[in-house]
A and B are shown apart, each in its own frame.
Chain A
Amino acid sequence: MGIAVLLKQVPDTTAKISVSGGRVDESAVSKWSMSPYDEYALESALQLKESGGGDLVAITCGPARAVKMLTDAAAVGADSLIHILVEDLSALDSTQVQAILAAAVAHSGSDIVFCGKQAADTNAGSTGPGVAHLMDASCVTMVSEVTPDGGSLMAMRASPNGNERVSVSAPCVFAFDKGIIELRRPNVRGIMMAKKKVAETLGPADLGVDISTSSVSIVGHTPPPQKPPGQKFEGADSVAAVVSKLRDEANVI
């Protein structure tokens, strides 16, 4: 049993996104971080590995700067690192990203995949289900916890009525939501060890994936529409005025 975790480096949730010349200016992003749900996927993958699972490989596809995030994953316990070098991810469509990641998982020999339910930049949620299909694996999304269950795996997932415990067998993909699990922080030893871990760097072509033609092309980016400034009221006495505005001006109650 090999476990792969798919990690994407995205602008930190606190980073400002600026648009210049009709495009998001990536060079102006002050800090790059692991996408938030991927942190939960990584933590859960580490826990599964510790409870008897096999090797844990961290995989990312992205530009050179993304290696830093793989080193962070190594510092908390990822055994090996694969970096598929693609300078401009936004030029790829979903089929290409999925083909690259599925091929990288196959290359690593893993049959259990952990990923985020959606990346904080695309906000899509396409990759887990897509990679699962390409691997001929089952897919469970909205997952908050995975535990061994005999020869299978038990996942806790959100359902329309609350939560469900579901059982699946490898090959399988788990797309993670935020859960109640605590994220671990690296210790000094982990950080030192991680410095020695070298990522295996591959190009899409090494994995047999052609990225020359994308079926999606970006026309442009704009900042989000600015809301007109709101009205501000002092003190609880103003509640009556606000309620009547909600009824008469906004028509929402």
Chain B
Amino acid sequence: MDVTVIAETSGGGLHPVTAQLVGAAASIGGTPTVLCAGGTGATEAASISGVVKVISVVGDCFETFDSGAWAKALNSVTGGDVIIAAASPSGREIAATMAAIRGIPIVQDATDLAPGISVTRPIYSGKAIETSTVTTPCAITLRANAFESAGEGGSAEVSTVNQSADVAVAVREAIAKASERLDVAEADIIISGGRGMGDPANFSHLNEISDMIGAAVGASRAAVDTWEEIPHGMQVGQTGKTVTPSLYIAVGISGAIQHLAGMRTSKYIVAINKDPDAPIFGVADYGIVATWEAALPALKEELGKL
């Protein structure tokens, strides 16, 4: 079975989730060819074990993100029985467009695959898990950190194909993020603040801690909606980002069902809340009943000792 893996990139290089896509492709008996949009990450992709071929697709269209153009250009260079991409915003969009171009079904956000092809994924924002079978050809996107990465040590051949497509989206203005902080969608550790932080200025404590442990800072919707200083991009939850870091620290967050929808599958959850009955304690591996005013200085001190 030929599997086309769409490489996920970040900051001009290959995103580590790409090795997970390759691992998942192999787990259903597929031979993976990796497509690198705009050539990004091609050399790194070639060293993932199990990859049979890397196609570096270069063309003017890859200078602006236009999913229609990217999907057209990528689609024309390869066939394949299954398309696999990351369930990131761009991965979902490119895979969905390629599926539509081919007239094949797409199943998004899989957390498990089995030969057949059987696909498991969370639905209703994680309130239920669905297993379905899908016939090939099809497209599937995979949730980050849900699959074993393929190892290194591969030496696939890299070929370069010149292929562009008409771009219909013109970027007029780029508005940079207010801070250079790590994005919650990218981070392996997240520390989030809620309305219990009392004032947006108090997020400086979360920033300091995040700098110590290489974490991203997130927020509840109440924090984002109440305080202009807390940008929307930080929101975790049903109408914000869905995250699955190794460690999620919730500070002054009650744990409303819509917040849990975005973070409950984190590997470890720490909650700091002054209310012992806050629902966040229901999902926390380690719950600390304390005010942030008392707990955060202690946390800074302990982390400083590591």
Contact = CB atoms under 8 A, between A and B. Distances in A.
Interface of A: 10-11, 13-14, 16-17, 19, 24, 36-37, 93-95, 98, 117-118, 120-130, 132-134, 138-142, 144, 154, 158-169, 172, 178-180, 214-225, 227, 230-240, 242-247, 250, 252-253
Pairs of residues from A and B, 5 with the lowest C-beta to C-beta distance, nearest first: A138-B168, A236-B294, A133-B100, A239-B298, A162-B177
Contact of B298 (A138, A141, A237): A237
B189 A253 contact: yes
Given A139-B93, A240-B298, A219 B128 contact: no
Interface centre among B123, B131, B235 (most CB of A within 10 A): B123
B100 A130 contact: yes
Given A36-B238, A126-B106, A133-B101, A236 B128 contact: no
Contacts of A215: 104-105, 134-135, 138
Contacts of A125: 89, 92-93, 96, 108
11 contacts: A24-B124, A123-B123, A126-B108, A139-B93, A162-B174, A167-B172, A230-B283, A231-B286, A235-B289, A236-B291, A243-B306
B161 interface: no
Given A124-B108, A165-B173, A250-B247, A129 B93 contact: yes
The size bracket of the interface on B is 35 or more
A179 B97 CA distance: 24
B147 interface: no
A118 B281 CA distance: 29
A211 to B, nearest CB: 13
A245 B123 contact: no
A253 B303 contact: yes
Nearest to A19: B128
B226 to A, nearest CB: 12
Interface of B: 10-11, 65-68, 71, 89, 92-93, 96-97, 99-101, 103-109, 118, 121-135, 138, 168-178, 183, 189, 213, 232-233, 235, 238-240, 242, 246-247, 257-258, 261, 264, 267-270, 276, 281, 283-291, 294-295, 297-299, 302-303, 306
B299 to A, nearest CB: 5
B178 to A, nearest CB: 8
Nearest to B69: A138
Contacts of B11: 160
B275 to A, nearest CB: 12
Given A123-B125, A224-B127, A247-B306, A160 B10 contact: yes
Majority SS at the chain A contact face = mixed
B128 A222 contact: yes
Nearest to B118: A219
Given A133-B97, A139-B68, A166 B169 contact: yes
Given A94-B99, A138-B68, A253-B303, A123 B289 contact: no
A165 B294 CA distance: 43
B49 to A, nearest CB: 25
Contact of B89 (A126, A130, A141, A223): A141
A94 B176 CA distance: 34
Contacts of B288: 232-233, 235-236, 238-239, 242
Contacts of B10: 160
Nearest to A156: B175
A250 to B, nearest CB: 5
Contacts of B105: 93-95, 214-216
Given A130-B99, A168-B170, A221-B128, 5 more contacts: A160-B10, A164-B172, A232-B288, A243-B303, A253-B303
Contact of A235 (B125, B128, B170, B294): B294
Contacts of B71: 129, 133
Nearest to A160: B10
A154 B172 contact: yes
A132 B97 contact: yes
Contacts of A19: 128
A130 B108 CA distance: 13
Contacts of B286: 230-231, 233, 242, 245-246
Contact of B247 (A142, A165, A179, A253): A253
B40 to A, nearest CB: 12
A139 B172 contact: no
